[in-house]
Amino acid sequence: MEKRRQFNQGKCNWIQISSHNSDTITDLKEKYQLTDEILAYALDRHEQGRVEYDGDEGTLLVVFNVPFKKQPDNHYMTKPITFILKEENIFTFTMKENEFIVPMIEGILHQHPDQSIYSLLFHSLLSISESYFPLLEEITAQRILLNDRLRTHTTNKNLIALSDLSVGLVYLVTATKQNAMLLESIKTLEVYRKMKANEKEELDDALVEAKQADSMAQMAADILRQLSSTYNNLLNNNLNDTMKLLTVWSLLLTIPTIVTGFFGMNMDLPFTNSAFSWGIVVVISLGLSLWLLIILWRRIK
């Protein structure tokens, strides 16, 4: 489905495409002379963040990573939104998962109705970068809560929740890093030299927010990685302590078995005819067990 809106006193057009059927693609080719290569990038649901400028066609392509508002599979994910700028037209290609960007862009147009297509692009990218902050703050809050729970109960449920946070952060860290890099790379393109001073300033503002989102995501990932490593070491230590205890008990239980088995042989042995033979065997077993326990305790310490 195609949605069109004019702005900047009717000089510019915003065309929003939310359904990618063959008729829509054909209309875009015929009306706006968009190339197959550009449309292929725009329609790829798994496209990574990228920026390209075709000087011959005068077309700027920006693929920007947008975070989900919900958590599919119990962790955050991202999906790309594509901006195409050609002549005085700006195209946005959205998916179901990131259509919340559409009212955001409408709000930007309402606040700044006389802006250029580049200003609209950079204002939109700035708002998208800002949308990462609530998610990163939510991850921080969940991490603090899980840390408190794990201090008291290191359960599989809490460890799985910690793993889900780590997986979500991988998506966010990768997305924010790509976003910051592609905004930086716009400054190296030919189209950057054609931008007005205010448009370059708006690009710098969007770049600052993208770098801040990248920094916050990286810091959250580092903290979570350290936390996961700490609990992994803790579980390994607990397992080692358990194995030590089981080893000591198995060795201690071996001594009475050996002693009683030795005195159970059908042959003449010391103390076998004594009225206190059973007690003597018990004392020998306890003595040897205590001796072994002392040796093992000293080695463990």
| Stretch 147-161: mean pLDDT | 76
Q: Which residue has the higher pLDDT, 143 or 234?
A: 143
- The mean-pLDDT minimum among 53-62, 84-93, 284-293 falls in 284-293
- 27-47: b (≥16 Cβ within 10 Å) or e: ebeeeeebeeebbebbeeeeb
Distance from C-alpha of 232 to C-alpha of 237, rounded to nearest angstrom: 9
Distance from C-alpha of 276 to C-alpha of 281, rounded to nearest angstrom: 9
Confidence of residue 196 (pLDDT cuts 50, 70, 90): very high
Strand partners of residue 53:
60
Confidence of residue 221 (pLDDT cuts 50, 70, 90): confident
- The mean-pLDDT minimum among 83-92, 184-193, 201-210, 253-262 falls in 253-262
Tokens 């998610």 correspond to 135
| Stretch 114-134: mean pLDDT | 94
Strand partners of residue 90:
14, 85
pLDDT for 92 = 93
Containing H/E element for 95?
none
Whether 5 contacts 14, CB under 8 Å: yes
Of these ranges, 62-71, 120-129, 162-171, the one predicted with the greatest mean pLDDT is: 120-129
Containing H/E element for 23?
helix 22-32
Q: Which residue has the higher pLDDT, 278 or 10?
A: 10
Distance from C-alpha of 39 to C-alpha of 12, rounded to nearest angstrom: 20
pLDDT for 91 = 93
Confidence of residue 82 (pLDDT cuts 50, 70, 90): very high
pLDDT for 1 = 62
- Decide if pLDDT at 4 tops 80: yes
Phi and psi at residue 34, to the nearest 5°: -80, 135
Tokens 């200003």 correspond to 119
Tokens 């059908």 correspond to 266
Whether 173 contacts 221, CB under 8 Å: yes
Question: Angle CA(200)–CA(202)–CA(205) in degrees, nearest 5?
Answer: 115
The 10s digit of each residue's pLDDT in 260-278 is 776 666 656 666 666 666 6
Whether 50 contacts 63, CB under 8 Å: yes
Minimal CA–CA distance to 2: which of 36, 14, 60, 12?
A: 14
- Tokens linked to 177: 């890093």
The 10s digit of each residue's pLDDT in 35-69 is 888 888 888 877 888 899 988 888 999 999 998 87
| Stretch 132-149: mean pLDDT | 87
pTM of this prediction?
0.77
Strand partners of residue 84:
61, 91
Q: Which DSSP string do the residues of 238-250 spell out, in sequence order?
A: HHHHHHHHHHHHH
pLDDT for 275 = 63
Whether 203 contacts 116, CB under 8 Å: no
- Decide if pLDDT at 71 tops 70: no
pLDDT for 156 = 73
Q: Which DSSP string do the residues of 102-128 spell out, in sequence order?
A: HHHHHHHHHH-TT--HHHHHHHHHHHH
